[in-house]
């Protein structure tokens, strides 16, 4: 199957594109987009990969599925389009970055600036039906995105995996902690973060310290 995706990722995931499940997934997604409003727009489904080539990945942040209200999702986990109000989880992410690193609260929730520095903002499901969270979770996306995580885990090292909440932490078994840094916490959603375990963890400082220790440029978390 000729999937339009960044070339280095296409090379590493080509065997997935050739498997029967992916053909079924692609057909199901096409049917959903033809029958319902779905997000993100079709050309942005693989945006996380297109903005962050395989060999450039320094950090992986795993979300569950795209935002499901209009004009929010654009293919990057936790990110919203320019000019869109920050969802509660993103507000808490920015608040913790402010407290941890000292960055001012940003004007934009578009995290393209992170992706272009090497932060893979990967949702486990890359699409969603409007107004229905997790509506595409059973289409087969997780087989594909797990394969992407495994490709990184097998082919790269010195990556920081930021696993927020039980769902993302469930991916930790694929990652060699001797060759990478795994930072786990509760989810930044107010339902979890306000009960403790999100604020004050200094994940963004710890991430950058690890990158520096391994000769990599740290992430500029502010604007």
Residues carrying an active site annotation: 65
Do 54 and 154 touch, CB atoms closer than 8 A?
Answer: no
Label residues 47-84 b or e (16+ Cβ within 10 Å = b). bbbbbbebeebbbbbbbbbbbbeeebbbbbbbbbbeeb
- Residue 107, classified by CB atoms within 10 Å of its CB into exposed (0-12), middle (13-18) or buried (19+), is exposed
Instruction: For residues 170 and 206, give the distance between their C-alpha atoms in angstroms, rounded to a whole number.
Output: 21
Do 78 and 63 touch, CB atoms closer than 8 A?
Answer: yes
Instruction: For residues 64 and 132, give the distance between their C-alpha atoms in angstroms, rounded to a whole number.
Output: 13
**47, 199, 210: which is closest to 127 by C-alpha?**
47
Do 62 and 168 touch, CB atoms closer than 8 A?
Answer: yes
């Amino acid at each position: 199957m000729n999937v339009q995706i960044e070339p280095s990722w296409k090379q590493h995931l080509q065997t997935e594109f050739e498997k029967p499940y992916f053909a079924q997934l692609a057909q199901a997604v096409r049917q959903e987009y033809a029958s319902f409003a779905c997000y993100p727009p079709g050309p942005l489904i693989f945006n996380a990969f297109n903005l962050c080539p395989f060999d450039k990945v320094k950090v992986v942040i795993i979300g569950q599925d795209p935002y499901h209200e209009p004009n929010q999702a654009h293919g990057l986990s936790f990110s919203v389009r320019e000019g869109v109000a920050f969802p509660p989880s993103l507000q808490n992410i920015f608040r913790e970055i402010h407290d941890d690193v000292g960055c001012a609260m940003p004007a934009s929730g578009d995290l393209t600036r992170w992706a272009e520095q090497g932060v893979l903002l990967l949702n486990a499901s890359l699409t969603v039906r409007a107004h229905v969270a997790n509506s595409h979770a059973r289409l087969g996306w997780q087989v594909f995105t797990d394969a992407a995580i495994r490709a990184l885990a097998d082919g790269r090292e010195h990556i920081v995996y930021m696993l927020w909440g039980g769902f993302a932490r469930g991916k930790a078994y694929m990652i060699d902690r001797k060759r990478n840094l795994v930072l786990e916490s509760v989810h930044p959603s107010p339902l979890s973060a306000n009960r403790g375990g999100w604020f004050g963890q200094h994940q963004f400082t710890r991430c950058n310290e690890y990158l520096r220790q391994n000769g990599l440029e740290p992430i500029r978390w502010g604007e």
